[in-house]
Amino acid sequence: MKKLINSPESVVSDALRGMAAAHPGLRVEAEKGIVTRAAGAAGEPAGKVALLSGGGSGHEPLHAGFVGRGMLAAAVAGPVFTSPVPDNIAAATCAVDAGAGVLHIVKNYTGDILNFTMAAEDCEDEGVKVEQVVVDDDVAVARTEHGPGRRGTGATLFVEKIAGARAEEGAPLDEVAAVARKVNANARSYGVALSSCTTPAKGSPNFTLGEDEIELGIGIHGEPGRERRTVMTAAETAEAMLDAILADLPEAAGAPVILLVNGLGATPPVELYIMRAEVERVLGDRGITVARSLVGNYVTSLDMAGCTLTLCRADEELLRLWDAPVNTPSLRWGC
């Protein structure tokens, strides 16, 4: 394993110290994994809803990279691919509450759901109102009444941006939560891996792919996908990924969408832009207009090669909120 780290045990705290040095607009408690806006709740208007998200590290810039105006009030980072503990989530929640409550945006993984739920209960005992929205956009996992269900992936970015804009407008907690759920209901994602990731603690690949293999439907922690195939062209890969997404989002035809072409950590920009071109072609052939898009590394999986695609059906409200000003370390426009 070759990584620019000091030790596997200090990866997260060292990275957060670096984030603090790079972004003075953030307040970072590196040992607790808590990142907030530097001014905290005191810098927000009384009665403004705060957004908080988090989860295991290794997906940077998600979530700490999206703390700032127009998105999150706080993010809580756990160890690599491991949920943060309830005490730290609760501490961050209470710290950012400005009197109108806090929206927890939680990816649909068992540990995250359990720990965020426990933290919310602790905060409500202290008089802080908490609402939880669960993101479950990964169509590679079938919806089921048993087990955790679909994983939360790229749509988390869309939820944080759009709900964050609604909170900036001064909307009450129930309305901010409602638009977050609207985004999740209209968003679908699918991933492909060309190689495994390597966690610092393990020091070896999480799974093995043959030199001529790719995995379709991969999870952002390296969870098994739907199938393995021999290496395909970018055009064929985009078609396979969009077939899976659009089979679960049939109403997308004729409607504008917000698109995320997301790198998983080790995919160079040139390949992501090739995928963006192929996605445009496939969607155009199917009568779907891309109204807004992002291309880059936003929800990564350490050093995995591959990408995820996320589509969100967007009406005028969602596009307006998407276009609203945002100023965070990793997403910024209109400021």
Distance CA 28, CA 221 (A): 25
Radius of gyration of the chain (CA): 19
Torsion from C-alpha of 214, 83, 2, 205, nearest 10 degrees: -30
Distance CA 40, CA 43 (A): 6
Residue 260 contacts by C-beta under 8 Å, 6 or more apart in sequence? 154, 157, 158, 189, 293, 294, 298, 308, 309, 310
Instruction: From residue 197, give the alpha-carbon distance in Å to each of 78, 218, 229, 258.
Output: 18, 11, 18, 27
**Residue 59 annotated to the active site:** yes
Nearest alpha-carbon partner for 307 in 294, 290, 323? 294
Tokens of residue 167, six digits: 């909170």
Residue 55 contacts by C-beta under 8 Å, 6 or more apart in sequence? 62, 63, 77, 78, 83, 84, 106, 107, 109, 112
Among residues 23, 63, 104, 221, which one is catalytic?
Answer: 221
Among residues 59, 63, 104, 146, which one is catalytic?
Answer: 59
Which sequence positions are flagged as catalytic?
Answer: 59, 221
